[in-house]
Amino acid sequence: MTGRVAAALADFRADPGTAGWRALPFFADGSADAIAEALDRRIAGGTEVLPPAQAIFSALRLAPLARVKAVILGQDPYPTPGDAHGLAFSYVGQRRLPPSLKTILAEMAEDLGCPSPATGDLSQWARQGVLLLNTALTVEARTPGAHLRLGWAALADQAVAAVSAQRPAVAFLLWGGPARKRAALIDRQKHLVLECGHPSPLNRLNDFRGTRPFSRANAWLAEHGEEPIEWRLDWSPQAPMRAADPAC
Q: How confident is residue 244, by pLDDT bands cut at 50, 70 and 90?
A: very low
pLDDT tens for residues 82-126? 999 999 999 999 999 999 999 999 999 999 999 989 899 999 999
- Cα 226 to Cα 167: distance, rounded to the nearest angstrom: 11
* CB-count burial class (<10 Å; 0-12, 13-18, 19+) for 32: buried
* Residues marked as catalytic: 76
pTM: 0.94
Q: Give the model's pLDDT for residue 235.
A: 63
CA distances from 169 to 38, 157, 219, 222 (A): 36, 18, 12, 10
